[in-house]
Amino acid sequence: MSQLLQNIERYLMSCRELTAFCSQNGWIDNSSLRYEILEQNDHHIIAFVQFEEILMEGSGRIAGRIPCQGRLCLTLDHYGQVCQAELL
């Protein structure tokens, strides 16, 4: 896996912006997180992101999973690190 793809994956695993794609205020299942690069240049990447939102019961058990998806514009710094994400 290239360094850029590792940087993107690491960023998305902790990206708060992804919670905007959740519909039930659940938790993002990072193990289900997938992304596809739609467009790319030296400063920006447009990515299509998919993951499952985990819904919990009051007892702490998983009540359900909801598929979520959306597009993000990822801004890269001059080292190729993702420094910002914006919902599209």
Of residues 59 and 28, the one with the higher pLDDT is 28
At residue 62, the pLDDT reads 84
Q: Where are the beta strands (DSSP E) in 1-88?
A: 27-40, 44-56, 62-76, 82-87
Is the distance from CB of 72 to CB of 86 less than 8 angstroms?
yes
Residue 18 has pLDDT above 70, yes or no: yes
- pTM of the shown model: 0.86
Which strands, in side-by-side order, build the sheet including 62-76? 27-40, 44-56, 62-76, 82-87
At residue 1, the pLDDT reads 62
Q: Which residue has the tokens 């998806």?
A: 69
pLDDT in tens, 51-81: 999 998 888 788 899 999 999 999 999 888 9
